[in-house]
Structure 1
Amino acid sequence: MKPIYDVEERPPFAKSLFYGLQHLLACFGATVLVPMLVGINPLYALFSAGIGTLLYLFITKFKVPNFVGSSFAFIGCAIMVLKTYGPEYLAGGAIVSAVFYTIIAFLVWKAGSGWINKVLPPVVIGPVVAVIGLSLAGTAISMAGATEGGDFTAMLLALATLVITIIAMFIKNKFISSISIVIGLAGGYLLSAIFGRVDYSAITNAPIINIPIFIVPKFNGTVILVFSLVSFATICEHIGHTIVTGQIINKDVVKNPGLHRTILGDGLATGVAGLFGSVANTTYGESLGVMATTKVFSVFVFIFSGALAIILSIFGKLGGVLQTIPSHVLGGLCILLYGTIAVNGLKQLVVNKVDFDKKRNLIIASVIFILGCGGSVFQLPGSTYPLLTSIAFAAIVGIILNLVLPQEKEE
């Protein structure tokens, strides 16, 4: 299907503003949830996400549209470092990740991208991308209040948000269908307000002006080791995001501008986040879901997303308005967005005609799906916090299986 706006096309200012806000709203919940779980001011994360997004776009020569926000993969080590050593060492961990990403980007630049098909063929990347979406299914359902003993009213409002979004997607007017996420969110918010399910205290508690802080990083051996290991795993996720981005926008971004640039952009965004008191950043699957749903790929839209994130973080009351969005409304949207990510992963298996009559392919995909969706973690003995997320662990195991399992001879 032809895009409404391709990567290099510039929508009018008003439309760019709407589209940019749409990506920010789609990514907002996760961006502020991670720092809240870690114990950090969410406005710092919003500021870092805006700066990181603009930096990522610049490094990738404005050819790879994506929003950069807080990474779930670093939650465990971030909590451990923050509680044990303090915010200076958490900033140091982000710098370690940035350096690690930079080294990998340099090696990828020197080695080229030919190795990707050998190390990360469709039978590995497809399931990894799919579990990025599927592993978040529980999060979306929980946010929507649809778990056992959950909130029935919240569940109905989440479903209403989803229905409004779907209806907007099918409206023949291209602009309305392209902002279906904003329409669904606005409809869900309005219904929630009517039913008295919006908490406005975030506006009251937010500062009028939020001044970003700057932290001088500190390092020790534990921080360097832990953040390096997690960074290796998150690079696998990043490669999956990058390949799927290329498929959605129908451009080979692995070659142009190059995988080394996307890795470098992601890493530097993480370093910036640490210096401004936030957790590590990463490219967002929610943005992929929005692009796949709306067919708006313009990189200028993401410039607006980054700029809006910075503005909303500095003007605390405005950022507080976004924090009043009920979690069930975001949950209703995420049912669609996370599902879209999963479908794009499965699409890789179909398009590349992966043969599951071959035991090798069957084993690799099966192990990745179960490890990725089963909530598995890689946790060192005696450690309180997991070292790797289920997705990162599944990706690493899948890569190893792909490298060690013998190729089967054709009959």
Structure 2
Amino acid sequence: MSSHEITNQVENNKHSWLDILTGAQMLFVAFGALVLVPLLTGLNPNVALFTAGLGTILFQITTRGKVPVFLASSFAFIAPISYGVAQWGIPATLGGLMVAGFVFMLFGFLVKINGANVINRILPPVVTGPIIMVIGLSLAPVAIGMAMGTGEGIPANIPKYQLILVSMISLLTTLIVAIWAKGFLKLLPIISGIVVGYVLSCFLGLVNFQPVYDAPWFALPNFTFPEFKWQAVLYMIPIVIAPTIEHVGDIMAIGSVTGKDYTKEPGLQRTLFGDGLATSAAGLLGGPPCITYAEVIGAVTLTRNFKTRVMTWAAIWAIVMSFIGKVGAFLASIPSVVMGGIMVLLFGSIASVGINILVKHKVDLSVSRNMCITALVLVFGIGGMVFDFGSYALEGISLCGILAIVLNLILPRA
């Protein structure tokens, strides 16, 4: 056993009330991104807090408490959830998300049978890169619309220039913190942008505090239970491609920080199964899918705190907060222009991740095969191609996912 492992083991054996406070800190790091997804998709933020806590605990049980990560709302599902809610309603969308969790578990089963490299064989960079780009770029009109003040709940008497001012200052704050902030503050760009934008909105009269006053201090989260429509299920299944790749990257990243290879112990099959179990549990109760969180990995890197017990306390804090009714009411009072400004950067960054995958893995787009896969996925996804089969329409990210996988399988390699 190396000195690094001995140090980690000693740290994990310590019992300290500081773990409780550190767990609260970890939740604070993830909080902005955690609640952003339900606020943008129409799901309940208190339920999202509850399912993030529950999902983290389920993940820790599945992985035998060996991986110090926190699970919370996945950005990759923002567009699919929004589309699903508009097409089939929230219950049917939740049913699709539950099944998406089972696909995560299926990937875990495939890894157990064939080894960790099976993910790269099924989903090589030429498939995942363009799909992730489409996820980000397809949301661009939504982000710009909200940033310009076309969202719901905006007072009609507020001049347009003031709305754009709020969104751009929120965006600028997020950029400044993400690029120039130091230490712990650098982990909080989204919260920083929301706080500054919210304060400015208060001065401009964009915030209605009455629902916050009226909300009870204690209230059960407004759980919503799923129903199953095959159209919603088929739509959601291919969406799992992007978060699967993100999950593998997160597990490798936290392993490089702690000095352990989590793809071998507890094994990528267990971590994928844990993500799937958490996602299905979230869908069962009305929350967004829960996957491993890069923000918290950054916090672990900064604090050098490798205790999985800290993540368990973060999960407990999230569950406790979910029962505070005023938390959800306060989050709902955030003007859509504030969220719009942050979404401009957020959705652009998702697209950038897809570009980075192509660059990092040196995907040569001068090769006809790679160029065809990338070109068709981007144009179908961003252009809005629809294959209408009457009772079911294949479009958006689902269409792109299936198209990319099929092309990768049938097009000849050089």
Structure 1 residues 330 and 291: alpha-carbon distance in aligned structure 2, compared to 1, 3 A threshold? farther
Q: Which moved more, 1:224-233 or 1:89-98?
A: 89-98
Instruction: Show CA shifts across 1:96-133 (max 9, x none).
Output: 55545434432332122222333222211222222232
Aligned equivalent of 2:185, options 172, 176, 181 = 176
Matches within 5 A, 1:8-87: 17-36=24-43, 42-60=45-63, 61=65, 63=67, 65=69, 67-69=71-73, 71-72=77-78, 73-74=80-81
TM-score normalised by structure 2 residue count: 0.76
Shift, 1:144, TM fit: 1.6
Q: Is the 8 A contact 2:129 2:357 kept in 1?
A: yes
Matches within 5 A, 1:98-247: 98-145=101-148, 151-171=160-180, 173-212=182-221, 223=228, 225-226=230-231, 228-245=233-250
CA distance in 1, matches of 2:223, 2:88: 18
Letter in 2 for 1:105: G
TM-score normalised by structure 1 residue count: 0.76
Matches within 5 A, 1:287-366: 287-288=293-294, 303=312, 306-366=315-375
Q: Which moved more, 1:23-32 or 1:51-60?
A: 51-60
CA distance in 2, matches of 1:377, 1:33: 24
SS at match of 1:337: helix
Aligned equivalent of 2:380, options 355, 368, 371 = 371
Gaps of 5+ in 1: 1-6
SS at match of 1:283: strand
| Residue 4 of structure 1: aligned partner | none
| Residue 410 of structure 2: aligned partner | 404
Shift, 1:379, TM fit: 4.9
CA distance in 2, matches of 1:63, 1:348: 25
CA distance in 2, matches of 1:167, 1:133: 21
SS at match of 1:199: coil
Shift, 1:78, TM fit: 6.1
Shift, 1:155, TM fit: 1.7
Q: What number of residue pairs does the alignment pair up?
A: 384
Letter in 2 for 1:270: T
SS at match of 2:73: strand
Residue 289 of structure 2 corresponds to residue 281 of structure 1: yes
| Residue 3 of structure 1: aligned partner | none
Shift, 1:52, TM fit: 2.1
| Residue 267 of structure 1: aligned partner | 276
Shift, 1:283, TM fit: 3.0
SS at match of 2:354: helix
Shift, 1:353, TM fit: 1.5
CA distance in 2, matches of 1:256, 1:370: 41
Q: Is the 8 A contact 1:31 1:46 kept in 2?
A: no
CA distance in 2, matches of 1:16, 1:116: 32
Shift, 1:210, TM fit: 2.0
CA distance in 1, matches of 2:199, 2:374: 42
Letter in 1 for 2:330: V
Letter in 2 for 1:240: I
CA distance in 1, matches of 2:147, 2:82: 22
Shift, 1:289, TM fit: 7.2
CA distance in 2, matches of 1:58, 1:99: 17
Residue 400 of structure 2 corresponds to residue 394 of structure 1: yes
Shift, 1:359, TM fit: 0.4
CA distance in 2, matches of 1:137, 1:289: 23
CA distance in 2, matches of 1:18, 1:189: 22
CA distance in 1, matches of 2:60, 2:219: 25
Instruction: Show CA shifts across 1:28-86 (max 9, x none).
Output: 122244344xxxx5533442233224323543455374543374435555677669xxx
Q: Is the 8 A contact 2:215 2:325 kept in 1?
A: yes
CA distance in 2, matches of 1:326, 1:216: 28
Q: Is the 8 A contact 2:140 2:344 kept in 1?
A: yes
Letter in 2 for 1:281: P
Q: Which moved more, 1:111-120 or 1:91-100?
A: 91-100
CA distance in 2, matches of 1:320, 1:310: 16
Letter in 1 for 2:27: G
CA distance in 2, matches of 1:229, 1:217: 15
SS at match of 2:374: helix
CA distance in 1, matches of 2:185, 2:168: 20
SS at match of 2:341: helix
Gaps of 5+ in 2: 1-7, 13-17
CA distance in 2, matches of 1:250, 1:17: 22
Identical columns (%):
32
SS at match of 1:113: coil
Q: Is the 8 A contact 2:127 2:373 kept in 1?
A: yes
